[in-house]
Amino acid sequence: MGSYRVCVCFTRKFRLTEAEPPEDVKAAFKKYSGGGAHLTAEQLLRFLVEEQKEEGVKIEDAEAIIEQISQKRHHVTNFVRRHSLALEEFHHFLFSVELNPTTILKVHHDMTAPLSHYYIYTGHNSYLTGNQLTSDCSDVPIIKALEKGVRVIELDIWPNSSKDDVLVLHGRTVTSPVELIRCLKAIKEHAFSASPYPVVITLEDHLTPDLQAKVAQMLTQTFGDTLFCPESDCLKEFPSPEDLKYKFLISTKPPKEYLEAESIKDKQNGSQREKDSDDDVWGQEPSSLTADQAEKEEINLDKCESDQVNEDDDEFDQKARPPPAYKRLIAIHAGKPKGGLTEALKVDPDKVRRLSLSEQALEKTAETLGKDIVRFTQRNILRIYPKGTRFNSSNYKPFVGWMHGAQMVAFNMQGYGRSLWLMQGWFRGNGGCGYVKKPEFLMNVGPNNEVFDPRLNLPVKRTLKVIVYMGDGWHLDFKQTHFDMYSPPDFYTRVGIAGVPADAVMKKTKKKEDTWLPIWNEEFTFPLTVPELAILRIEVHEYDMSEKDDFAGQTCLPVSELRPGIRAVALYNQKGEMFKSVKLLMRFEFL
């Protein structure tokens, strides 16, 4: 009999009822229904316009919402269409991720500016399945990245053992290789599954001229007319994402024989390469790196040397002159440095190029040359990549790069963690198309040629008010015993801002004990000095007295994309995949 009672108690503990709408929801319903029991389409439309600040919404949209909610809530075969919502149905609408999303779901930025005006969703060593030293190389992580909207894929290309084919692998490690052609075919097939905007393939090239010619052939045969080839040796300005829809761009350094020819010319002119005192800031101490990583820690600086190409080169005559065929496919030039960083960051009015810096090289450079970096990124592309010691494929904070206008902040997409959550959240912006327009302050040039100074302490520009009402869906996506064996979970929410240092903060709600339907009703305000680069961080955890608190969901949302009003907030797992049911009900308001 005693054990029977325990069983009954256990069952009662896990019994679930639908939560009551928060007081704010009840108040809104009462206000817009005029105190009535139902909300008509006209009244719902008023609510959408006045409270949710929806633009361009029409009566037909309100009617469609009512119909969809009614169909979801009333599963009867002889369903009679309803023309209004009761309070519970209104609450259900507000808690619907599909019908009442948190952010703008379509492309809404101007896509006609040059590529240098955008942050671009960028992968690092995109072919690795795990860590940087021993994991397999494969086309699978490339496909996954493209399906999530990543627009820059990095491939390290090396000769095979017989020097007659090209492999993709992380050089001088024990990563098992994958054939380049397989990676290229995967890119071609999956490039535009998430976005129509251009895919950039960055090649870390360790090939002989003959194999470069083979790569040129592979690229042209795989991508054909979709491969963007510049008409001139170096672009004067990058095309726009709109102009490059469904196109592929190659970014790498020009073939070695051209660089060597330039080097000989320089020596003849008496301009020997100087040993610059800033050399050590371009990367980390070489002693901690493999030779390959040490090479990647250097800046890539394009020389965009002039080269007269015969018309016969259109035939891709690899045997006669292999490099021109390969070189002409390079849309975004990169290369090795000449002189110091000050020289490297000089803007050429007639040429655009790509420059690469390691994460810690950027931090050190930003201390003294912050404005030079901003000026450089207004026309040219800056790529930041993880330091070579991140063997476990971890990532770094992206904001130093973004604050300085760096377009390609390259991340290990297989390195799960909070930094990657931020990156995934940032590129949910602008409809998830992989291109986010940089803020105007990073593109502006003043009357005296001055640009934004990232080191300035700025005044508060905007204040975000957030209310965390409640959460739901864990009982559907998790086993009853996932969080606690004998009782419902004790959830709390962490909410805060990631962004420039002055704006970064995290706060948290009280924990709600023994409930699958936590109701917090807590309000937070966040003063923002650079709202354009702020990300709202939301994490839910389950309190555990004896061990580490359990993870229960997260999301990161660009503050500039937040839609005001009462919103349903979808939560994601640690890999960045959306839960089927777990969500929060929150309110956003800009003061």
- Fold annotation for 117-443: TIM Barrel (3.20.20)
Give the model confidence (pLDDT) of 82-96 as tens digits. Answer: 689 999 999 999 999
Asked whether 488 and 10 are in contact (CB, 8 A), the reply is: no
Whole-angstrom distance, CA of residue 511 vs CA of residue 519? 10
Q: Where in the chain is the domain with CATH 2.60.40.150?
A: 462-590
Residue owning tokens 């942050």: 119
Catalytic: 124?
Answer: yes
User: Looking at domain 11-94, does it have CATH number 1.10.287?
Assistant: no
Of 170, 333, 404, 541, the catalytic one is 170
Tokens of residue 11, six digits: 């069952």
Question: Tens of pLDDT along 394-414?
Answer: 999 999 999 999 999 999 998
CB 569 within 8 A of CB 585: yes
Q: Is the pLDDT confidence value at 58 over 60?
A: yes
Euclidean distance between CA atoms 168 and 161, whole angstroms: 13
pLDDT value for 79: 41
Taking residue 591's Cβ as centre, other Cβ atoms within 10 Å add up to 9
Query: Which residue is catalytic, options 124, 333, 404, 541?
Result: 124
Q: What is the 3-state secondary structure (H, E, C) of 321-373?
A: CHHHHHHCCEEEECCCCCCCHHHHCCCCCCCCCEEEEEHHHHHHHHHHHHHHH
CATH match for 462-590 among 3.90.400.10, 1.10.3660.10, 2.60.40.150, 3.30.200.20: 2.60.40.150
pLDDT attached to residue 281: 34
**Considering the chain, what percentage of its residues have pLDDT values greater than 90?**
76
| CATH 1.10.238 domain span(s) along the chain | 11-94
pLDDT in the model for residue 366: 95
Comma-separated ranges of CATH 3.20.20.190 domains in the chain: 117-443
153 vs 203: CA distance, rounded Å: 9
Tell me the whole-structure pTM to 2 decimals.
0.86
Q: How high is the mean pLDDT of the chain?
A: 86
Report pLDDT for 76. Answer: 41
404 is a catalytic site residue: no
